[in-house]
Structure 1
Amino acid sequence: MANLIRKEDREYLKGEFEKYLKNDVDLVVFTSNDENCRYCKETVQLATEVSEINPKIHLKVYNFDEDKEMVKKYGVEKYPATIVSKAGVEDGRIVYYGLPSGYEFGSLIEDLKNVSMGEADVSSKAAELISKIDKPITIKVYVTPTCPYCPRAVGTAHKFALLNPNIKGEMIEALEFENEAEEVGVSSVPHIVINNDVTFIGAYPDDQFAEYVMEAYDHQ
């Protein structure tokens, strides 16, 4: 299979990682033997190519059907799944369901840098609101690879997850998980669902996004 990351992009990422990666990170992929998994092989290949760019990125690959203990530890619900976490920490709060391609590849790169630095650049208001969350919150962001606005929504959800261990941020590729997207009423993207309760569409500023998170929190 041909490389998924072009040579010039690889060189650019090499410079970015050398500049921004401070601490080691794990890039964890859950794949499957399921022949109907359209992008399992590509997801593993993409993660492999990314991990080969910098030694601080550690690739771990698990089989959803066989590695049940790891599925449980990371809280993975479907495949393919790609997770970014601090090295050695089995933490599935920053997750991509589906191949993180197109515009979402940029989201993955930003997550690697943010997790490595342990930083999340959000507004002071958003940070204050998110710090109040003391119960489990799951933010699902439905996207498509060609949506230029989706990375902002995914990035915000993942930054909130990085800031607060009670928050899980999920990117879900709507075309790969068509049935699920249809069930929650996805008609345009980004389509955000928080705790299967609060829903909104669009890439809002992080302080407004945080207000929706608080609305779901208050409904618990």
Structure 2
Amino acid sequence: MLDQNIKTQLKAYLERLESPIELVAALDDSDKAAKIKELVTEIAELSDQVTARFDGSNARRPSFGIAKAGEQPRVFFAGLPMGHEFTSLILALLQVSGYAPKVSDEVLNQIKGLNLTANFDVFVSLSCHNCPDVVQALNLIAINNPNTTATMIDGSFFQHEVEERKILAVPMVFQDNEHIGQGRMTLEEIVAKLDTNSAEKDAAKLNAKDAFDVLVIGGGPAGGTAAIYAARKGIKTGIVAERFGGQVMDTMDIENFTTVQKTVGPKFAQDMEAHVREYGVDIMNLQRVSKITGADQTANGLVEVELENGAKLESKTIILSTGARWREMNVPGEAEYRTRGVAYCPHCDGPLFKGKRVAVIGGGNSGVEAAIDLAGIVEHVTLVEFDTKLRADQVLQDKLNSLPNTTVILNALSTEVVGDGSQVTALKYRDRATEVEHTVELAGIFVQIGLLPNTDFLKNSAVELSNRGEVVINDRNETSVKGVFAAGDCTTVPYKQIIIATGEGAKASLSAFDYMIRSGV
């Protein structure tokens, strides 16, 4: 099951166990059970601190649990935690033994204070780069709440459950069999969802903060870089972010960031956050801004930021770096069947459509890349493009055209997502040349049609927006409001690229610092 290189690495990790642990497998007569038995046996052979048992009582078979010796398992793996989930397995082994997790004392105390009695199930695919964070978060919650369990379920292992629950997107989380969330969620997000008093506690802490010199709104590449440049000046810097990392967290391969030959979005975001924290920046994550008031509109000459939880923050300057989000088709059925056949991440959700027919909406680089990736998994891919030609790079078009199970439909307007009440069954589109409407029977639709700036909260403010909703800036990243600057994908700067966003974040920060010096703020 495990090659020698992996065994060597795992053996080294197991030397860090704080106390003896047991692997308790619940098996049946299937080939999948034989593989789980082989994995459990191999892990136990690597350390005297690990024992294996095969008399587990878990109703979901085959599976295995991890427990501190003498206790009942609370962390379970229903499937083989390989691929992206191998890290989840290693962390579970260590943390069940008592190894301290790499989270702040504040977050760990909040987890312990939940006092939960619950059973969490999270459905994953092993190719999903968003799933491990959710699995690891729920495992940590279960480890620190004695009446709680967490189970990772590999959808390919339990296809009947996937079909019964109509799961067409991962990660998909259930608490006591009730759906509570899907998609990428951080530990802090999950804890905040489970802690019913978190919003009030957050608001009280935020209201007590002194005014900042630079307050960055948004935690993507532009915001992270802006915060680093500001903090290096020795001034009081903060970041308010709905999700630190932003859209980069949903990006898979990054191969065009100078000096970094290849990385993945979540790793890029993790490294960026570590860099930001190195300078003592006050990161206020999971916070959504509802309103800003310019310095010339407040009594004290400071920019005021109001959050959705009611808290208010003040700063001498603001840098808007709220980024962008996936554009939706905005057709009947799209919202109704989101996560039930309508998806936006082919890397995460593609494996759930193995052997089925799907469509990709959009003929740019993202759409064609998605179609190429999906073609290796699904029965057939239909790419639907509004324009009369594809807009992707020619090398991608050539690759797509070489695949036998793909069809490209040009000059087509998607008009409706069709379903049977529980999942997608078809896509309707209209031929723009003939006005004839067609129906394509399929099980999934992957939307890849570009981005929308996250600037809705600015529509009733004095900040000037373009007709596309982007923040209008000049060459110094100044907006129409005194003391307010902007950077990245939410602005009118062309070419929405990570490396451009970081450069713009640096410019905005330097401009904000220059403004404070020259204006005497």
1:51 match: 44
Partner deviation per Cα, 1:14-72 (whole Å, 9 max, x = no partner):
22222x11211111111113xxx34100000011111111111111112xxxxxxx51x
**Within 1, Cα distance between the matches of 2:194 and 2:176?**
9
Which 5+ residue runs of structure 2 have no aligned equivalent? 197-521
Matched position secondary structure for 1:146: coil
Among 21, 26, 32, the residue aligned to 2:22: 26
1:179 match: 160
Partner deviation per Cα, 1:135-158 (whole Å, 9 max, x = no partner):
521111101122222111111110
Partner deviation per Cα, 1:73-92 (whole Å, 9 max, x = no partner):
xxx12111111110121x13
Cα RMSD (Å) of the superposition? Answer: 1.9
**Within 1, Cα distance between the matches of 2:62 and 2:178?**
25
Matched position secondary structure for 1:169: strand
Q: TM-score with structure 1 length normalisation?
A: 0.81
**Within 2, Cα distance between the matches of 1:135 and 1:15?**
33
**Within 1, Cα distance between the matches of 2:116 and 2:93?**
25
**Closer, same or farther in 2 for the Cα pair 1:122/1:193, shift >3 Å?**
farther
**Within 2, Cα distance between the matches of 1:212 and 1:178?**
28
1:65 match: none
Which 5+ residue runs of structure 1 have no aligned equivalent? 63-69, 216-220
**Within 2, Cα distance between the matches of 1:53 and 1:105?**
16
Among 138, 153, 157, the residue aligned to 2:119: 138
2:90 match: 109
1:15-164 paired onto structure 2 within 5 Å: 15-18=12-15, 20-33=16-29, 37-62=30-55, 71=57, 76-89=58-71, 91-124=72-105, 126-164=107-145
Among 190, 194, 209, the residue aligned to 1:209: 190
Partner deviation per Cα, 1:120-148 (whole Å, 9 max, x = no partner):
44345543443343452111110112222
Runs of 4+ in 1 over 6 A off after TM superposition: none
TM-fit CA distance, 1:195? 2.3
Among 175, 182, 192, the residue aligned to 1:194: 175
**Closer, same or farther in 2 for the Cα pair 1:14/1:132, shift >3 Å?**
closer
**Closer, same or farther in 2 for the Cα pair 1:178/1:125, shift >3 Å?**
farther
Matched position secondary structure for 1:199: strand
Q: Contact conserved, 2:116 with 2:145, CA < 8 A, in 1? A: no
Of 92-101 and 51-60, more deviation after overlay is shown by 92-101
Matched position secondary structure for 1:138: strand
Among 6, 29, 43, the residue aligned to 1:9: 6
Greater Rg by CA: 2
Of 123-132 and 104-113, more deviation after overlay is shown by 123-132
Q: Contact conserved, 2:131 with 2:170, CA < 8 A, in 1? A: yes
TM-fit CA distance, 1:99? 2.3
**Within 1, Cα distance between the matches of 2:112 and 2:14?**
29
Q: Which amino acid aligns with 1:122?
A: V
Q: Contact conserved, 1:94 with 1:161, CA < 8 A, in 2? A: yes
**Within 2, Cα distance between the matches of 1:210 and 1:182?**
29
Partner deviation per Cα, 1:158-207 (whole Å, 9 max, x = no partner):
00011111221111111111221233332121111122234211231211
**Within 1, Cα distance between the matches of 2:99 and 2:118?**
20
TM-fit CA distance, 1:118? 4.6
1:67 match: none
The number of equivalent residue pairs is 196
Matched position secondary structure for 2:133: helix
Q: Percent of aligned positions with the same letter in both sequences?
A: 26
Of 158-167 and 99-108, more deviation after overlay is shown by 99-108
**Within 2, Cα distance between the matches of 1:136 and 1:16?**
30
Matched position secondary structure for 1:142: strand
**Closer, same or farther in 2 for the Cα pair 1:8/1:135, shift >3 Å?**
closer
Matched position secondary structure for 1:53: coil
**Within 2, Cα distance between the matches of 1:79 and 1:5?**
21
Matched position secondary structure for 1:119: coil
**Within 2, Cα distance between the matches of 1:15 and 1:92?**
23
**Within 2, Cα distance between the matches of 1:188 and 1:141?**
11
Higher-helix-fraction structure:
1
Of 144-153 and 157-166, more deviation after overlay is shown by 144-153
